[in-house]
Amino acid sequence: MQVRYWDREVETQDRESLEEKQLEDLRVTVAVALNTPFYRKRLASVGMQSAEDIRTMEDFYKIPLTSKDDLRDAFPYDMLAVPLEQVVRLHASSGTTGIPTVIYHTRGDLEGWTELAARSMTATGMTRSDVFQNMMTYGLFTGGLGLHYGGEHIGSLVIPASSGNTKRQFKLMKDFGTTVVHATPSYLLHLHGKLGGEGISTADLALKKAFVGAEPHSENVRKKIEDLFGIDVYNSYGLSEMNGPGVAFECEYKNGMHLWEDAYIMEIIDPVTLEDREDGAGGELILTTLKRTATPILRYRTRDLTSIYPDECPCGRVHRRISRIKGRTDDLLIINGVNVFPSQIEEVIMKMPESGTNYQILVEKSGALDKLTVKVEVGSQVFSDDARDLNALIERVKDNLKASISISPAVELHEHGCLPVYEGKAKRVFDLRNGDADDIIKR
């Protein structure tokens, strides 16, 4: 495979020089962070008053972790490290798990982000000859603008389609010969379901690649999208606290996401004991910005669960890879005492050929016990079959789930199009034990 680099020097430098530069940039970042009331206080609590106090990485590990609540408490300006006149944009997280957090950017911060985005997209083989249709929501959410500027920086034609309006997405794809799209995996599955209704087949499209991110998804979902459209699908990881998309991205080998270590220090910790877990065991990802000026963040608890691959990637990039995100620490469902991640359920469902592309997970109280229900969309063919076949299919889904999560859930089959679809991040888990009854549709 002919590997394409955006910045060969940075991508393929040796480990030692990368780590030396990390420490250097860390010191600069700590100096900048000390301009903020938040970090002045936080660092003082461990006896650090200046960047001089960071001599080795051992000193770095003494810095207390920063949480999402810290960012909220610092709202609006306690984590801003430069005068407001130097700030040119702000972004906010989508607030999936509560009040959004705000991140400010200087012009230099945005240039740094754009570099990372261009590097990420190039790693998948994308070039200036590509036509890039960005189906992520434009706005405060970082999914839209991040890769938008990355695509322009590469020199490709960028179509700022934003999310939703399936008909228009198809029209843009056909009119301009879109070769690369960026969307949530659930939206791409939804889009494929609508192709037929619009009288379009995948052969009418010039599509070659998709970047998917913003929500957890399994390897089986990737395969499903690849097979349905006949394209290559690359996993993209990012979060607004660390810019947005362009933090970690798969290269053409599609074997885990290179996390750009010249821009971030990564650590993996046990989310409960907070101990270091970089031995491949997996845990919560902790990130530190190395290039940001307006909102530097030290040792941020992403709450995302992943692990670092120990081996080198054949592409020759020095930046280590992280595995597919298994879920968030706060996604974990404890059902009658058993730990279940929604991603385990998804994996089972997506492996079954009968299942469609949409599902829902429901947890509720049934007397003293917890009850798990999994709703799965299946093709209409299944419903025209004998009722006995239908029951046999339900039993098979149940058995496969039981084998994976050790719990036997209730299983409901639904016709395609019956479960709600989302243009942004999909909401598939409804935990009614916590009064999470907001938008349950068609129960």
Supply the minimum distance, in Å, between the C-beta of residue 96 and Zn ion: 29
Residue 315 binding partner per list Zn ion, ligand ADP, none, with a CB distance cut-off of 5 to 8 Å that depends on partner kind = Zn ion
CA distance 425 to 408: 27
Residue 304 makes contact with ligand ADP by CB under 6 A: yes
Supply the minimum distance, in Å, between the C-beta of residue 414 and Zn ion: 39
Choose one: 81-89, 212-220, 249-257, 344-352; the region binding Zn ion (CB under 5 A). Answer: 249-257
Longest dimension (CA), the chain: 74
288 touches 352 (CB < 8 A): no
Which residues face 92 on adjacent strands? 102
Residue 308 makes contact with Zn ion by CB under 5 A: no
CA distance 372 to 350: 18
Supply the minimum distance, in Å, between the C-beta of residue 102 and ligand ADP: 11
Smaller CB distance to Zn ion: residue 261 or 377?
A: 261
Q: For residue 66, give the DSSP letter.
A: B
Residue 322 makes contact with Zn ion by CB under 5 A: no
26 touches 290 (CB < 8 A): yes
Smaller CB distance to ligand ADP: residue 109 or 370?
A: 109
The string of DSSP codes covering 128-195 is TT-EEEE-SPPSSSHHHHHHHHHHHHHTPEEE---S--HHHHHHHHHHHT--EEEE-HHHHHHHHHHH
Q: Which of 79, 131, 210, 251 binds Zn ion (CB under 5 A)?
A: 251
Closest CA to 249 of 327, 345, 315, 179: 315
Please, what is the angle between helix 342-351 and helix 387-405, to 10°?
140
Q: Of residues 68-107, which lie at the interface with ligand ADP (CB under 6 A)?
A: 93-97
Q: Which of 146, 150, 151, 213 binds ligand ADP (CB under 6 A)?
A: 213
Bond prior to 76 in cis (omega within 30° of 0): yes
Q: Which of 29, 169, 236, 307 binds ligand ADP (CB under 6 A)?
A: 236
Q: Which of 315, 322, 378, 426 binds Zn ion (CB under 5 A)?
A: 315
Residue 214 makes contact with ligand ADP by CB under 6 A: yes
**Residue 195 burial (CB count, 10 A):** 17
Choose one: 44-52, 244-252, 358-366, 384-392; the region binding Zn ion (CB under 5 A). Answer: 244-252
Positions in the binding site for ligand ADP (CB under 6 A): 93-97, 141, 213-216, 235-240, 302, 304, 325, 328
Contact set with Zn ion (CB under 5 A)? 251, 253, 313, 315
